[in-house]
Amino acid sequence: MIDIETFTHIFLLLNDTDKAIIKKYIEGYSIKNIAQDLHLSHTFVCERIYQFQLNLEKNITSISK
């Protein structure tokens, strides 16, 4: 589990588009709705969420070492 400080730090490093995507995803919006609301492709939204998750996992791994 990641602590809120680490999550917030990683989140604040994102560009504005990625922040908007992740914020909506956390709020429970579907990927389809995020893409429509932000005028982005479904594939782009999926990729940005995936990259954010990888970044979180990478930080969790480095913290637990």
Dihedral through CA 20, CA 26, CA 64, CA 4, nearest 10?
80
CATH architecture label of 4-64: Orthogonal Bundle (1.10)
Domain ranges across the chain: 4-64
pTM beyond 0.95: no
Annotate 23-36 with b (16+ C-beta within 10 A) or e (fewer).
ebbeeebebeebbe
The pLDDT tens digits for 35-55 are 999 999 999 999 999 999 998
Scan for tokens 């389809």, then name that residue: 32
Residue 8 pLDDT > 80, yes or no?
yes
Amino acid symbol at 2: I
